[in-house]
Structure 1
């Protein structure tokens, strides 16, 4: 999750402090449509798996907690 948080801070230089696991990344505009594919690439790199966009919904990317659960948990 540290790499994801670092990426989000890089994309949002005005962002101070940690990002709460339940913060809505989309509503807070921490991820926008221009960065979304890059975010997916990062998740694929970190998980070692490709993400089929037909198998996910926007809610799978909404919070760090959901991203962890959906893409980075060992029980996938």
Structure 2
């Protein structure tokens, strides 16, 4: 999750401190539509698997907890 948090901080330079695992990334505007596909690419790179966007919902990307559970639980 360190790489995900680092990416979010890079995209949001005004963000101070850690991101709470249950913070709504969409509502907090930490991920927007312009960055979404790049975020998916990052998750695919970290997990080593392809993400089928036909099988995913926006809620799968909404919090760091959900991202970890849905996409990174088996990533090393």
Shorter-normalised TM-score: what interval? over 0.9
Inter-partner Cα distance in structure 1 for 2:38 and 2:45: 11
TM-score calculated relative to the size of structure 2: 0.97
- Give the aligned length: 75
Indicate yes or no: 2:60 matched with 1:60. Answer: yes
Match of 2:8 in 1: 8
Displacement after TM superposition at 1:3 (Å): 0.2
Q: Segments of 4+ in structure 1 off by > 6 A?
A: none
Q: What CA RMSD, in Å, does the superposition of the two structures yield over aligned residues?
A: 1.1
Indicate yes or no: 2:49 matched with 1:49. Answer: yes
Match of 1:71 in 2: 71
Match of 1:37 in 2: 37
TM-score calculated relative to the size of structure 1: 0.97
**Structure 1 unaligned spans of 5+:** none
